[in-house]
Amino acid sequence: MYNIPLFDLNFGIEEETAVLETLRSKWISTGPKTAAFETDFSGLLGVGYSLALANCTVSLHLAMKILGIGPGDEVICPSLTFVATVNAVRYVDAIPVFADIRGDADLTMDPLDIERKITSRTKAIVVMHYAGFPCAMDEIMRIAKAHDLKVIEDACHGPLSEYRGQKLGTIGDAGCFSFFSNKNISTGEGGMLVTNNEALYDHAKLLRSHGMTTLSYERSKGHSTGYDVVESGYNYRMDDIRASIGIVQLKKLKNDLLKRAEVRQWYEDAFAEVSRVVVPFKGHNGFVSNYIFAVLLESSCRRSRDEVRDALHKAGIQTSMHYPPVHLFSIFREFSDSLPVTESAASRLITLPMYSRMTKPEVEYIAQTLQDIIHG
C-alpha cells in the first residue's frame, strides 16, 4: 500500500445515486442516459456531435473507418502513447508510420518529423495530446491541409484542454476520448467520438451498433417497429449505467481540473529546487487537464530511472511510466523506425502522482524525496 498513490478516483455518493436511479429505471443498456451524456459532452466541448462508445480504443477504430482509412494506407502516429493509438491503425490494415517527439520539454509529436514522414501513401495523422498538453495543431493542420490528410485527435488525456481557445478533440476531423478508471472522467470503461461533421457522425453511429438502422431503445418507444442492416458494424455501444456515471463526472470536471492546475503549480515550484530533473511543459499557460505529471531524469543523473522508481516506491510513493515506446514492441518491429528523441525521453520518464485531492505537503515530500534519491 502506497502512502501517496498514483491517482485517486473522484467518486462519491452522486455516482452511487446515479447508478441506482438507472437500475431502478429498468433501462440499463444504450438509452436515455447515453443520449443525455452525449448531449452534455457536446455542450461542454462546443462540438457538433458526440457518440458514446464502449471505450476509447473502439472510438479510434471507428474514426479510422469513417475517414476511409484502409489496407495499405499510411497513418503517421506517435510512439510515445498507449498502444491502443497504434492498434487502431492496424485494425483497418493500415500502416503505422512513427513520428518523433519534440524533446524533453515537449513530449508531443514533432511537426517537422511528421512532414518528413509523408509519402504518396499517407492518408492520415493521429496526434496524441500528451498529459492533456496540446500538440502544435496549427502546424499539424497546415501540413494536413497541404497534403490532403485526415487528422484524428487522440484526446484521451485532454478533456477540456484547450489550444488557442479550441477544445482538444474538436480541431481535427474526429476526436477520441477515454473514460477508463484512471482518466479525468471515469466510468470504469467507456469512450467518446466527437466531430463537427454530421455525415461522419451518422456513419459512426451506424457502425456502433451492428450497422442497424434503429436501436432497441428507439423501437421500445414506438419510434420504429423494425430495422434494416445496411453495413457490417460492431457492438461498440456504451450502456446507460456507465453513461449515468459519466453525466455526474462531467459536472465535477471543471472544478477537478482547476484543482489539478493548482497541484501542478505546486509541483513546478517544488521542482525548481530539484536538480537533474526536467519538468516537461513547464510554464505552459493554457488551460489543460493535467491528466498525469511526468518528469524526466537528465542524462547526467547517476541513477537509472528504474532505480529511482524503486526507491520512490520504498518511500511510499507510487509511480508509473507513460509510456514504453510502441515502435519497440515486438508486434510493431516490422514498422519500426529510428526515433532517437522518443527513445531517449522514454528511458528517463517517471510519472508521479497527480490527482485533485493531493496536498501541497505531499507534493513537497515527493520533490524532496526524489532530490534525496538522485543525490544520495
pLDDT value of residue 219: 61
Cell numbers at 11, concatenated: 467518486
User: What's the rounded mean pLDDT across residues 269-296?
Assistant: 96
Average pLDDT over residues 265-294: 97
Residues 1-60: pLDDT tens digits?
789 999 999 999 999 999 999 999 999 999 999 999 999 999 999 999 999 999 999 999
Question: Sheet containing 349-352: which strands, arranged edge to edge?
Answer: 277-278, 293-297, 349-352
163 and 236 Cβ atoms separated by less than 8 Å: no
CA distance 157 to 177: 8
Whole-number pLDDT of residue 227 = 86
| Cβ partners under 8 Å of residue 259, min gap 6 | 356, 357
**Angle subtended by helix axes 240-271 and 360-375, to nearest 10:** 60
User: What's residue 167's pLDDT?
Assistant: 98
Q: Give me the domains of the chain, ranges plus CATH numbers.
A: 13-250 (3.40.640.10), 254-375 (3.90.1150.10)
Instruction: Answer for the pair 127, 151: CB distance below 8 angstroms, yes or no.
Output: yes
pTM of model > 0.85: yes
To the query of whether residue 183 is one of the catalytic residues in this protein, the response is yes
Lowest-confidence segment of 1-10, 109-118, 183-192 by average pLDDT: 1-10
Q: Which of 59, 78, 287 is nearest to 175 (CA)?
A: 59
Query: Per mean pLDDT, which range of 97-101, 117-121, 257-261, 300-304 is the poorest?
Result: 300-304
Residue 240: how many CB atoms within 10 A of its CB?
A: 26
Mean pLDDT of 97-115: 98
Instruction: Judge whether residue 226 has pLDDT over 80.
Output: no
Among 31-40, 147-156, 207-216, 278-287, the minimum mean pLDDT is found in 207-216
**In Å, how far from its chain's centre is CA 371?**
30
Please spell the DSSP secondary structure of 225-291, one letter per residue. S---B-S---B-BPPHHHHHHHHHHHHHHHHHHHHHHHHHHHHHHHHTT-TTEE-TTTT--S-----
Q: What is the mean pLDDT of the chain?
A: 96
Distance from C-alpha of 24 to C-alpha of 2, rounded to nearest angstrom: 37
For residue 219, give the amino acid letter: R
% helix, strand, coil for the chain, step of 5? 40, 20, 40
Residues 6+ apart with CB under 8 A from 198: 48, 49
Cα 74 to the center of its chain, rounded Å: 22
For residues 136-159, one letter each, b for 16 or more C-beta atoms within 10 angstroms of the residue's C-beta and e for the rest, the string is bbeebbebbeeeebbbbbbbbbbb
Please name the amino acid found at residue 55: N
DSSP secondary structure of 124-172: EEEEE-GGGPPP-HHHHHHHHHHTT-EEEEE-TT-TT-EETTEETTSSS
pLDDT surpasses 80 at 138: yes
Residue 71: left if φ>0, alpha if ψ -120 to 50, beta else—which one? beta
On the CB side of 356, CA atoms within 13 Å amount to 16
Question: Residue 300 pLDDT > 90, yes or no?
Answer: no
Q: How far apart are CA 152 and CA 259, in angstroms?
A: 29
Separation between Cα atoms, residue 271 and residue 78, nearest integer Å? 28
Helix 240-271 vs helix 13-25: crossing angle, to nearest 10: 170
pLDDT computed for residue 218 by the predictor: 66
pLDDT digits 0-9 by tens, 307-340: 999 999 999 999 999 999 999 999 999 998 899 9
pLDDT at 223 over 70: no
On the question of pLDDT at 224 being above 80, the answer is no
Q: Identify the active-site residue in 26, 145, 183, 360.
A: 183
What is the band of 77 on the pLDDT scale with cuts at 50, 70, 90? very high
* Helix and strand element counts for the chain (H, E): 12, 14
Cα–Cα distance for residue pair 337/333, rounded to 1 Å: 8
Report pLDDT for 376.
Answer: 77
CB proximity list for 249: less than 8 A, separation 6 or greater = 10, 15, 179, 185, 186, 187
Residue 243: per-residue pLDDT: 98
pLDDT at res. 78: 98
Residues sharing a CB contact under 8 Å with residue 114, sequence separation 6 or more, in sequence order:
76, 99, 125, 140, 143
Q: Is the pLDDT of residue 220 over 70?
A: no
Q: Is the pLDDT of residue 251 over 70?
A: yes
* Percent of the chain residues topping a pLDDT of 70: 97
Would you say the C-alpha torsion 241, 14, 43, 163 has a positive or negative sign? negative
Q: What is the pLDDT of residue 221?
A: 66
Range from 56-60, 70-74, 106-110, 371-375 carrying the lowest mean pLDDT: 371-375
Closest CA to 291 of 107, 60, 78, 84: 107
198-208 vs 56-66: helix crossing angle, rounded to 10: 120
Q: What is the largest CA-CA distance in the chain?
A: 72
Provide the pLDDT confidence category of residue 214 given band limits of 50, 70 and 90. confident
